[in-house]
Structure 1
Amino acid sequence: MGNLPFGSLCLDNRPKKKKKKINAKMAQPHVALFPCTGMGSLIPFLRLAANLAARGCNVTVITLHPTVSAAESDQISNFFSLHPHIKRLQFQPLSPENSKFLIGDPFFLQVQAISNSVHLLDPILAALSPPLSAIISDLQVAGSMCRFASQKSISAYVLATTSAMYFSLMAIFPKLTLQKGGGKFQANTHLELPGLGAVPVSSIPVPMLNSNTFLSELLDANIPCLSKVKAILINSCADLESETIEALNSGRAIPDLAPVLAIGPLQSFEDDKAPNLPWLDEQAPESVLFVSFGSRTALPIGQILELRDGLEKSGCKFLWVLKTNRVDKDDKEDVETILGESFLERTKEQGLVVKGWVNQDQILAHPAIGGFLSHCGWNSVTEAARLGVPILAWPLFGDQKLNAKVVEKAGIGLWADWGWCGDVLVAGDDIAKKISELTTNEKIRVRAKEVKEKIGQARESGGDLDVLLGGLIDQLKPTEK
C-alpha cells in the first residue's frame, strides 16, 4: 500500500458482496482484533481471527505498519492472502517520544509508540461497517481498548498470549509487596501468589522487579481493566495448566478478575503441508531434534559456539534454525562464517543448519521430529503440545522461565535452568547431556503424545474446546438495541 504518514490508518478497499439486511439480534458479530508487536502476539491473534471467521464472524484485524521484523510482515501478507474475507486495518503509530526509560529493544520501542498513538484508532473503529460488537486486544493496549469499548457500548476482551501462570503473575504483580533485603530483591526468595503457590524471584523477568521500567508502567496502566472486560481469552488449556486456570476462575488468585476462557492451543491458519526441507524428509521417524529460540531471541556468539559443540557431541540428529540478531532484518552473517565450514562438513549427515524464518508449526508436525530444544516462548510451547513433541526448555528472558515450569509440571518436557541469557556460558558438554536426557526419556515421550490426543479430542465437534468456542461466538453476537 505504499508508505503511510505517521499516525495514519488504512482500511483495505477490496470489493465486497452485498449482504441481506437482517435483524441485529440475529446478526453475526463483527469483531476487531488488535495484536501488539512481535510474532509472539501476532501469531495467536491471526489464528484466533481465522477461527472466528470460520465460525461465521465478521473479522477485522488491526495490523501495524511498518512491522519491526520481516517475519511479521511476511506472516501478515500470507495470512490475508489465505483469508481475503477478513478485513485488514493498517495502523502506523506516531514516532515514539523521548522516554524517561532507557529502551534498547526495538519491539518495546514500538509498544511505547503504540501506547502513545492508540487513541487515533477511536474514530476509525467507530466508523466500521457493520458496527463492531466486540474488540479483542493484547494486554499491552487493553486499557485504551477497554475505554473505547465502554464509550461505544460494545464488549471488550483481552487475549493473553502467554501462559496462564505468567498471566497470573502480571495480573497480580502491581499489588504485590516484594520481599527485599538491603533495598534489593533477593534471588533466593519466593513470592507467594494467592491460589497459585510460590514463584522464585529468579524466575521473574528483571525489568518487572524494578518499578521504574517501561514494563512496570505498562502493567500499571493496563492491569486495572482486567476486572472490566467481558472475558480474558488465554491460549492455553487444562491439559497444560488446569490448576492455574481453576485458581484464576475461582477468584482465589486475583479478586474481581473477569472470567478466563482457555481457548488454546490455537491451531495454525495455514495448510498442514510439509516444510520444503528434503534433508528432513530423509530422516527416520522421531529421530531429529528441532532447535529454535524464536523470532526475538539471539544467543551471544560464544553461546552459539557452545551449542554447536553440544549438538555435535550429543550424536543426535538436529535441525537448527540459527539466529544472531534480535531483529531478523539485521541478521546478515552466513552460517559458514558463524559456525565454521569444518563443523558443517563434519555434521552434514547428522544435522542441518538454516537461517531465516521457517514455519515452525509445519516443522514440529513433521514425522521426523522427535524433540524440541526451545526458549519456551508460549507459541512454541503450545505448538509442541498440540503436536505431541517433547520439549527441552532453555528459557532465556521474559515469561520463559514460568513457561518452562508449566512444561515440566505438565510432564511434556525437561527444564534446563541455566539462568537468564548471558548470565552464564553453558558448556557444550552440559548441553549434550541434557539433549541425551530428553531423547532417552520414554515417560516424557508418552506423556507428550497423551496431551496431543487430549487436545485433539477437545477440538472435535462436541469436545470441550468446540463447545467453549461456540459459547464465545454467542457472547460476541450483537444484542438488539
Structure 2
Amino acid sequence: MENGACNNGSCNGNGVAARPHVAMLVTPGMGHLIPLAELAKRLARARHGGVTSTLITFASTASPTQREFLASLPSAIESVSLPPVDLSDLPSDAAIETRMSEECARSTPSLTALLSRLATTRRLVAFVADLFGADAFDAARDAGVARRCLFFPTNLHALTLLLHLPDLDATIPGEFRDLAEPVALPGCVPIPGKDILAPLQDKSKACYRWMVHHGEKYCDAETILVNSFDAVEPDAAAALRHPKPGRPPVFPIGPLIQTHEEDASVTTMPPSPRAACMDWLDRQPEKSVVFVSFGSGGALPTEHMRELALGLEMSGQRFLWVVRSPSDEDGEVNANYYDAETKKNPFGYLPEGFVERTKEVGLLVPSWAPQTKVLAHKATGGFLTHCGWNSVLESLVHGVPMVAWPLYAEQRQNAVMLTEGVGAAIRVPEAKGKEKIAVVVREVMVGEGRGAAVRDKVAELQKKALAGLRDGGAATSALDEVVAKWIGEEK
C-alpha cells in the first residue's frame, strides 16, 4: 500500500497507511498462547515494519494466569476474548482436543464479526490460527482477510503426521497402538504405534475424527509456520521443504520461547518479586540441579509421584521440583490443562519423611516456578520434563539436557524423536520404579556414556538454535519471507 492510500479506514489523520496488523487465534492452553505471543513480539520489531497484533482468545481460558500474561505483553499486542459458546451437550469425558475443536468451530460466527470489525480500524494483512483453529479459516475468508496462515506450535514430526493423517486413516484399518511396526513418515524417526499422538489412539473417539479433520483443513492455509528449527529435525525439515501439490509451504521459524522483555508502555503490572527458588539456585554449584516439571497442565498419578520422589532421593542429585497434586485426585494426567493451579496441597502425597530427608539437597515448590529463568540459571544441569514442545525448546535454547517422562498429547511422540532421533534426552522406562528413575537422572546429570553424549548434543543444538534467530539466520529469514508476502502482496 502506498502512502496516502486508505484501506478500510486504516490510515492516520494525515492519510498515511497505518502499520500492518495481524489477527491471531489462540486455542486454549498456555502452551498455545505463549509461542503465539512470542511470534507477535517478533513481528512488532522494526525489521518487519512494526507489525501490530491482536491475540484472540476463548472465554473458557480466561484464568488469572492467562489474564496476567496478556496484561504483561508490549503495547503493540492487543488481546480480545471471544464470547462463550455452549458446550454443555458434549459428554463429560470429552477429550481436551474435542472441546477445543468444538469451541473453535462454534465460535466461527462471532470470529467473523470480530475480524470484520477489526478490518475497519486496522490494516489487517493476515489471519493466523494455531493447530486446533483451522476451522477459523472460514471466518477469515468470510471477513475478507487476504492471507490465512497456520501456526503449528509443536514440531515438524507432529505436523508431518497430521498432514498424512487423512491418508493413514484410509489405509490403516486397525488402531495405531496395535501396529506391529512403527509408523514411518518422510524424514521422520519411526514412531511406535503406542507412542503416536494420544488423541489418535482410539478411532472410535470424537477427538480422533477431529484430528483427521484438522489434517484436511491445514491445506486451506496459504502458509504453515512451525515452532521448530532444522537442526533438531533435519530430515523432516528437508522433506517438508520439498514442494508437494496441494500442501502449503512450510517455514520453520523457531525456537519461539517465552521471553521477558521490558516494555516501558506496560503500566498495568507491578514488578514481580524474585521467586524464592531462584535464591535457592544461587546457592547451588554450577550444573548440579535437575529441574523437575511437567508443564502448565501435567500431573502424575499418586504411585508415579511417590516413585519419582524416591528416585530423585536415590539419584543423589540436587533437585528443584514443581509439585502438583496427583492426577488420580485431580482427574487425569492433563488435569491442570485449563488452570495451572494445583487443586490440593501436593506435599501431602509425597512419601513419609521425604521432605525432611531431602531438605539439604532438594527444593519443592507447589504448582509453578519461572521455568525459563530456572533453565537459564547456571546451577541447572538437567531437566526432567513431560516433553511438551515449549519445554523442549526452552531446554535446548538454554543448553539443558533432558530426562523424558511424557504424559499426553504429542509428548510420547516427542520423547521418541528426542531420544531415538536427535539424542537430546534419555527416556524413563515405562515401568516407573524408583531405581530406574534414579539411574536415568544420574546418567543425564553426570554419566560418562550416553549421558555425556546427550549433554554434548544439547550444547550443539543450543548453538544452532541461537544462530537461526540472529539476523540472516534460518528462522529470521523464513519469517522475513512470509511477512514480506503479507505486507507487499496484500489484496
Q: TM-score, structure 1 length as denominator?
A: 0.86
Q: Distance in 2 between matches of 1:210 and 1:32?
A: 34
Q: Does structure 2 conserve the Cα–Cα contact (< 8 Å) formed by 1:178 and 1:185?
A: no
Q: Which residue of 156, 181, 189 corresponds with 1:164?
A: 156
Q: Distance in 2 between matches of 1:255 and 1:69?
A: 42
Partner of 2:479: 469
Q: Which residue of 16, 19, 23 corresponds with 1:32?
A: 23
Q: Does structure 1 conserve the Cα–Cα contact (< 8 Å) formed by 2:200 and 2:211?
A: no
Question: For residue 298 of structure 2, what is the amino acid of its counterpart?
Answer: T
Partner of 1:283: 284
Q: Which residue of 201, 206, 209 corresponds with 1:217?
A: 209
Question: For residue 41 of structure 1, what is the amino acid of its counterpart?
Answer: H
Report the alpha carbon displacement of residue 332 of structure 1 after superposing the two structures with TM. 3.4
Report the alpha carbon displacement of residue 217 of structure 1 after superposing the two structures with TM. 2.5
Moved over 6 A (4+): none
Partner of 2:115: 125
Question: For residue 115 of structure 1, what is the amino acid of its counterpart?
Answer: A
Q: Does structure 2 conserve the Cα–Cα contact (< 8 Å) formed by 1:31 and 1:476?
A: no
Q: Which residue of 434, 439, 442 corresponds with 2:440?
A: 434
Report the alpha carbon displacement of residue 244 of structure 1 after superposing the two structures with TM. 0.6
Partner of 1:5: none
Q: Which residue of 88, 113, 118 corresponds with 2:79?
A: 88
Q: Which residue of 410, 426, 442 corresponds with 1:414?
A: 426
Question: For residue 457 of structure 2, what is the amino acid of its counterpart?
Answer: R
Q: Does structure 2 conserve the Cα–Cα contact (< 8 Å) formed by 1:371 and 1:390?
A: yes
Q: Which residue of 387, 393, 402 corresponds with 1:391?
A: 402
Corresponding position: 1:258 with 2:259: no
Q: Does structure 2 conserve the Cα–Cα contact (< 8 Å) formed by 1:96 and 1:110?
A: no
Question: For residue 461 of structure 1, what is the amino acid of its counterpart?
Answer: D
Seq. identity, %: 30
Q: Distance in 1 between matches of 2:247 and 2:212?
A: 15
User: Using a 3 Å threshold, how does the CA distance of structure 1 residues 415 and 285 change in structure 2: closer, same or farther?
Assistant: same
Partner of 2:136: 144
Partner of 1:343: 354
Corresponding position: 1:22 with 2:16: yes
Say how many residue pairs are matched.
450
User: Using a 3 Å threshold, how does the CA distance of structure 1 residues 357 and 447 change in structure 2: closer, same or farther?
Assistant: same
The Cα RMSD (Å) is 2.7
Q: Distance in 2 between matches of 1:158 and 1:401?
A: 23
Q: Distance in 2 between matches of 1:28 and 1:84?
A: 13
Alignment of 1:62-73 (within 5 A): 62-67=56-61, 70-73=64-67
Alignment of 1:46-85 (within 5 A): 46-55=37-46, 56-67=50-61, 70-79=64-73, 83-85=74-76
User: Using a 3 Å threshold, how does the CA distance of structure 1 residues 294 and 322 change in structure 2: closer, same or farther?
Assistant: same
Q: Distance in 2 between matches of 1:411 and 1:285?
A: 23
Corresponding position: 1:297 with 2:307: no
Report the alpha carbon displacement of residue 280 of structure 1 after superposing the two structures with TM. 1.1
Q: TM-score, structure 2 length as denominator?
A: 0.84
Report the alpha carbon displacement of residue 292 of structure 1 after superposing the two structures with TM. 0.6
Q: Distance in 1 between matches of 2:440 and 2:171?
A: 33
SS at match of 2:57: strand
Q: Does structure 2 conserve the Cα–Cα contact (< 8 Å) formed by 1:31 and 1:59?
A: yes
SS at match of 1:371: strand
Report the alpha carbon displacement of residue 447 of structure 1 after superposing the two structures with TM. 1.8
Structure 2 unpaired stretches of 5+:
1-9, 263-271
Report the alpha carbon displacement of residue 333 of structure 1 after superposing the two structures with TM. 2.6
Q: Distance in 2 between matches of 1:58 and 1:243?
A: 34
Q: Distance in 2 between matches of 1:362 and 1:195?
A: 33
Q: Distance in 1 between matches of 2:187 and 2:289?
A: 39
Report the alpha carbon displacement of residue 127 of structure 1 after superposing the two structures with TM. 1.6
Q: Does structure 2 conserve the Cα–Cα contact (< 8 Å) formed by 1:39 and 1:72?
A: yes
SS at match of 2:149: strand
SS at match of 2:107: helix
Question: For residue 148 of structure 2, what is the amino acid of its counterpart?
Answer: A
Report the alpha carbon displacement of residue 170 of structure 1 after superposing the two structures with TM. 1.6
Partner of 2:266: none
User: Using a 3 Å threshold, how does the CA distance of structure 1 residues 334 and 210 change in structure 2: closer, same or farther?
Assistant: closer
